[in-house]
Amino acid sequence: MRAEFVDPHGPYWNATIDQIGALLHAGQNPTLFPYHFLQVVLPKLGGHIVWLVENDTRVGVGFLFPRHRLRRPGETEPPAPPIGTRAFTLRYHAVREAGAVTPALAAAATAAVAAQLDCPHITFYDPSAPDHTYSGSTQVIQNVDLGRPYADEAAQIPALHQRIWGSPPEYLYPADIHSDQFAAGTSLVARVDGRLVGFLFGFFKFDGPPLPADWETRFRGALRLESQTMGVHPDYRGMRIGNLLKRMQAEQARQAGIAIVNWTADPLQFANAALNFGLLRAVAFHHYPDFYPFRNELNRVPASRFALTWLVESARVRDVPLTGARTLILDLGQHPHIRRVNDGWWHVDFTADSDLIAVEIPADWTALQQRAIEEAMRWRDATDRLFAHYVGSRPGQYVITGVATDGDRRYLLGQRVHDGLWEHLGHVDPQPKD
């Protein structure tokens, strides 16, 4: 058997993913990852897509996910590779009826991929295997029970995902990613009165968006965590479940020796911004216009995103109490020195050079997309241009670090880049409070 890697930068990347979707019956195959994830996210994780070929016939397709060297209790796998060694999970799908997974096939596929990658640490994984295990756990914090999902809860997560976003089946993530064998970077659920009401999952990642100053070395940027999707049932919002899920994720990351958690977020969703910047103390200095190709009920216009960086070992993150912390939302009316760089979508200013700027965003982005799609398109275009101009990590650009309001209006706050800012944002307390 041989492995043929697909080039994510080649002209046939999207067409190949379409072909794979057709072969694996996308929409009817609950073990297949969403198209937009395979197209956009998997390469950014440092993952790969590979054809497995036998006798000049493609017998399978593999999705390679970065894998952490640490093992969970109870896992019966070969010894973990040394720290710093890259390892992968080979998620295998047969592309013909005769392609049943056997130990011999698993060994041949693993060997073929290892030879091509020059990486001996490949863990074969069959998403359709009947013997997956789920190490559920519980921890009650303020009437919310948090932990890894049990098997029945993992099976419920796609339906909850669909309930929150109204996504079609082909946009849902497989339930088996929460298994011990797949060993995702994050697999968490929230329960209230025994009901599954929230979830958070993510993946290990090699490298990521470039880091400023000395952060690459200080925070071990070669291995990070990509926090992919978090959802909370609409009936249970307001209980800070999202905050609790993220804080548990941060603790799990620290225990695994990971200091950087990344995720993407729509910059125009103020409630998310209040959580990400005002409570979790994440920062953003990368902006990706029209990042995802999908459209759904919450994304009816081009899906632009911030790439957020969360330094889970930094003092400004760890000093926030687990419970009772207040979301920092500045009253912009009390701070006339902060330069506003736009007045809605109809007036934008590209001349600001002050230490602090405020970028206005819609007060209710989701409702606006439902109510006035043309106005929503104008907001997206105007803010995309503002973020492209102002947001970045070079001296004179701005890092998004906070949120503000002025009456009914909503804002993101940016701080101008200088060496002292990176030192402040990345300061580590030698004796953290938590």
Residue 270 covered by a domain: no
Give the lowest-confidence range in 47-61, 96-110, 161-175, 336-350.
Answer: 96-110
Based on the structure, what is the number of domains in the chain? 3
**One domain, residues 8 and 117:** yes
Residue 432 covered by a domain: no
Give the model's pLDDT for residue 301.
81
**pLDDT digits 0-9 by tens, 86-97:** 899 999 999 876
**pLDDT digits 0-9 by tens, 228-267:** 999 999 999 889 999 999 999 999 999 989 999 999 999 9
**One domain, residues 147 and 240:** yes
Cα separation, 282 vs 304, whole angstroms? 18
Instruction: For residue 242, give the H/E element and its range.
Output: helix 241-255
Give the model's pLDDT for residue 73.
46
- Quick check: 82 pLDDT over 70? no
Residue finishing a domain among 101, 125, 149: 125
Residue 434 covered by a domain: no
Please give the model's pTM, rounded to 2 decimal places.
Answer: 0.93
Cite the beta strand spans of 239-389 per DSSP E. 260-265, 283-292, 303-311, 329-331, 339-340, 342-343, 347-348, 356-361
**One domain, residues 109 and 151:** no
Give the lowest-confidence range in 68-72, 127-131, 182-186, 376-380.
Answer: 68-72
**One domain, residues 259 and 143:** yes
Residue 314 covered by a domain: no
Mean pLDDT of 156-182: 94
**One domain, residues 108 and 42:** yes
Cα separation, 18 vs 5, whole angstroms? 16
| Residue 431 CA: distances (Å) to CA of 249, 318, 412 | 20, 10, 31
Share of the chain above pLDDT 90, in %: 82
Cα separation, 105 vs 91, whole angstroms? 13
Give the model's pLDDT for residue 80.
57
Q: Which residues, in sequence order, are bridge partners of residue 144?
A: 141
Q: What range does the domain containing 25 cover?
A: 2-125
**One domain, residues 101 and 158:** no
Residue 130 covered by a domain: no
Round the average pLDDT of the chain to a whole number and report it: 92
What's the token pair of residue 212? 């400023």
**pLDDT digits 0-9 by tens, 296-352:** 555 668 889 999 999 999 999 999 999 889 999 999 999 999 999 999 999 999 999
Residue 75 covered by a domain: yes
| Top-confidence residue, 190 or 80 | 190
What's the token pair of residue 369? 């997309």
Give the model's pLDDT for residue 292.
73
- Quick check: 78 pLDDT over 70? no
**One domain, residues 56 and 95:** yes
